[in-house]
């Protein structure tokens, strides 16, 4: 089981599934927050928050970026997929670094081609 928490612990996200890889995206928001994303379906994660978080929508408003309203950490985003499923992307920077440093990083060109960059 892995747990992702914001700096102050207001938001905690747990999942039983360990990631095989994390995604580094260079789109305008991911680049600015330096997120590494791990993707799950909504039923694979449990999100607990002590108080309200800040939600940011932009562009086509398909993704809701969630940040702690106290410490400011962006912990995850939620997205309704075209197939009707809900996706949760956890910011792996909120996970213990010992877990994440052993995982492969995949690079995604979200700024231009919207494709993974083969390394």
Residue 51 has pLDDT above 90, yes or no: no
- Residue 67 domain flag: yes
* CATH code assigned at 60: 2.170.150.70
**pLDDT reported for residue 2:** 93
**What is the residue-averaged pLDDT of the chain?**
94
Q: What is the pLDDT of residues 63-115, one digit of tens each?
A: 999 999 999 999 999 998 888 889 999 999 999 999 888 899 999 999 999 99
Domain count, the chain: 1
Residue-number span of the structural domain to which 100 is assigned: 2-112
- Residue 117 domain flag: no
pTM of structure: 0.93
- How many CB atoms within 10 Å of residue 118? 6
């Amino acid at each position: 089981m892995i747990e992702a928490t914001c700096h102050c612990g207001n938001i905690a996200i747990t999942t039983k599934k360990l990631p095989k890889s994390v995604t580094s995206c260079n789109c305008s928001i991911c680049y600015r927050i330096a997120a590494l994303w791990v993707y799950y379906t909504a039923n694979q994660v449990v999100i607990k928050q002590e108080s309200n978080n800040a939600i940011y929508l932009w562009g086509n408003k398909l993704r809701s970026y969630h940040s702690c309203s106290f410490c400011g950490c962006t912990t995850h985003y939620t997205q309704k997929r075209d197939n009707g499923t809900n996706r949760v992307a956890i910011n792996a920077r909120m996970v213990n670094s010992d877990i994440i440093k052993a995982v492969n990083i995949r690079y995604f060109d979200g700024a231009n081609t919207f494709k993974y960059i083969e390394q």
